Chains A and B, each alone.
Chain A
Amino acid sequence: MVTIKRLIVLLLIIQPFYSKYKRKSNPLLIFFFIYSMNNSATQKNINKEDWLLWQFADSALPTGGFVASSGLEVAVQSGYVKDNNSLLIFLSSSIENYAYSALPFVTDSWQVISQTSNNDDDNDDNDALIFENIIKLDYLYETCTSNVITKRASKAQGVAMLTLFSKSFGEEFSEDNEGKRNISDRIIDKFKFEVRKESTFGHLPVAFGLVSKCLGISLERAQHLFLFLFSRAALSAAVRLNIVGPYYAQRILTECHSYVESSLEKTCNIKANDAVQTSPILDILQGRHDKLYSRLFNS
């Protein structure tokens, strides 16, 4: 950026002298023209991805996450979270646990389409193979999650994610670039259909990986976003449970960045088959959520 500014200054200085002699082509104008051309070409896709990320991070996105407290409500009522310090411990361990147990499914699901469609002709066999792998992941997540409440919350949000794609993004993306985006549209529609038929589950990590891939969000960003949304949901629940105020919640959310980064460092390459749980205590507490005498949240 600095060199570009210097160049502009230089051009501004020499411009009057230059224009005296050759009136036809102004170097400054040419420079700006080339510069803007280049920029609009390279930044077009990045802008689109960024824009989508903002949309995904916005709490107005209708994914139903607001009914989930990710185990915080029961942790508070059981005396596990009682002050700011224990809230931080809760957040760091539940983020890490989610990164070890759910993130591998996002990663694998994101990679399914690109790994399966090696041959260019997008025939029905290819679709079926992709779809089969998605279903396998979905089933594996179900078997790896013993906890009924975690399962329920994951399914509700997963279905919301699929609905969101087809209602808000699906058609737009199937129009340009006929190849891959058409596949994604078909796969997501089929996935949603099977979930509705109750022949598969529609778990959030699988749906999230698939949807983010279909929207052209890079794997790295999808992984970050997934854990950000988890942290954000937990903290927004903390505010509504009146454990922290909205300002302090933002301060903690900033702190969660380091938890997300350190978790991602360890888990970003883990395959779904190697997913593990790292917090037995949160698992037990979450399993007791439905036994709460009074509760605000669904999980």
Chain B
Amino acid sequence: MATLNQYDKTNSKSPPGHGHIVCHLSSSTTRPSFSTFRASYPIKLLTPKVHSPYLAAAYIITYGGGMVSGDSVFLSVEIHPNVNLMLLTQGSTKIYKQRPGKMFVNNNILQNGEGLKISEGTRQKLNSFIHKNALLLQLPDPTTCFRDADFTQRQVFTLQDVTSSVIILDWFTCGRMSRGERWDFFKYDSGIDLILSDKLIFRDVVLLKNDNQNNILKKRLEPYECYATLVLYGPKVIPLINFIIEEFNKIVIGKIDKMPELVWSASILNEKQSIINGVVVKVAGITTELVRNFLVKFALKDLKDIIGENLFERAL
């Protein structure tokens, strides 16, 4: 009988910064198992005990709780039919400041000989493939870019067909607020591609850059300190999608002089078809907690039914 703790023991073969997860469900069981579960420095994978049927979870952890300039992480995830896999982090991903000219041992881009130019900054890439009737829940904590940090992230989610589902959360804060850092990073560049059987159906790339040291970002992004993009797609999360759209349709805005503490909007994905398959939600809040509450107590509250109360509390 396959269990969650059965791992592939080939850790040493992963190139630096690479992680690989394959999760499947054997017939006659409701407990998914990992056929591949390995990663190398600076990332580490852990799996908590999960009791809900068809659900598996993986924590993606970086040593020291953050990444420095020159770190490059590549994660590939494959979810076989009927599995619900949840990807989590422990606390926000901290991106430390860029140190130009320094190279790190774990810089795999340099090893590939692609030149110095792209080795600067911190890079993270996720490639995922979601089979029929599978669900991927990408629910990390927010990314926090410290002063002068240079962060680039690309996440590709490929759905095998219309029966595959996904929840993608991509969010970031204004920086290390305890040190008074607000929008002081050099660059935050994060992109999501959602592909449905070979066809790109949604792309969202956010680029925030402080070009001339005059902290233009602060002026533009205030008063909010946390921004989130949430994408829901597929039959397994249809109740959540419908709930969000219904709630959004209720909103009526009268003229106000002060920006609200939390502001959000929802757009239907695949508008051309009469059937609603997905939704994109964008939120901004004056604190991270407000955004977290919006997600946990409002937008994703019905997720409990899929992942169980216990794990839902731990996520986010």
Contacts and interface: CB of A to CB of B under 8 A. Distances in A.
Interface stretch (B90-98, B127-135, B235-243, B251-259): B251-259
Interface of A: 74, 77-80, 82, 89, 92-93, 100, 140, 143-144, 146-148, 151, 198, 266, 275-281, 283-288, 291-293
Contact of A293 (B216, B253, B266): B253
B204 A277 contact: yes
B268 interface: yes
A-side binding surface: helix, strand, loop or mixed?
helix
Nearest to B194: A143
B201 A284 contact: no
B102 interface: no
Interface residues of B, number: 43
B252 A293 contact: yes
Contacts of A279: 220
Contact of A276 (B191, B211, B254, B283): B191
28 contacts: A78-B259, A78-B263, A79-B256, A80-B259, A89-B220, A92-B220, A143-B200, A143-B202, A146-B267, A146-B282, A147-B265, A148-B267, A151-B271, A266-B211, A278-B206, A278-B209, A279-B220, A280-B221, A280-B227, A280-B284, A281-B220, A281-B227, A283-B265, A285-B263, A285-B265, A287-B265, A288-B263, A292-B253
Nearest to B258: A79
A147 B271 CA distance: 11
A291 B263 contact: no
A158 to B, nearest CB: 16
Nearest first, the 6 closest Cβ-Cβ pairs linking A and B are A287-B265, A276-B207, A276-B205, A146-B280, A291-B251, A93-B220
Contact of A275 (B205, B227, B263, B266): B205
Which of A74, A79, A147 has the most chain B CB atoms inside 10 A of its CB?
Answer: A79
B253 A291 contact: yes
A287 B266 contact: yes
Nearest to B172: A280
B221 A281 contact: yes
Nearest to B201: A143
Contact of B224 (A89, A146, A281): A281
Interface string B262-279: 011111110110000000
Given A77-B256, A80-B259, A146-B280, 18 more contacts: A74-B253, A77-B253, A79-B260, A82-B257, A89-B220, A100-B207, A140-B200, A143-B203, A144-B203, A148-B271, A266-B211, A276-B207, A278-B206, A279-B220, A280-B227, A280-B282, A284-B263, A287-B266
Contacts of A151: 271
Contacts, number: 99
B9 interface: no
A277 B268 contact: no
Contacts of B282: 146, 280, 283-284, 287
Nearest to A85: B219
Contacts of A148: 267-268, 271
B208 interface: yes
B189 interface: yes
Contacts of B252: 291, 293
A291 B248 CA distance: 9
Contacts of B280: 146
A283 B224 CA distance: 14
Contacts of A146: 202, 204, 267, 269, 280, 282
Contacts of B200: 140, 143
Contacts of B209: 278
A127 B202 CA distance: 28
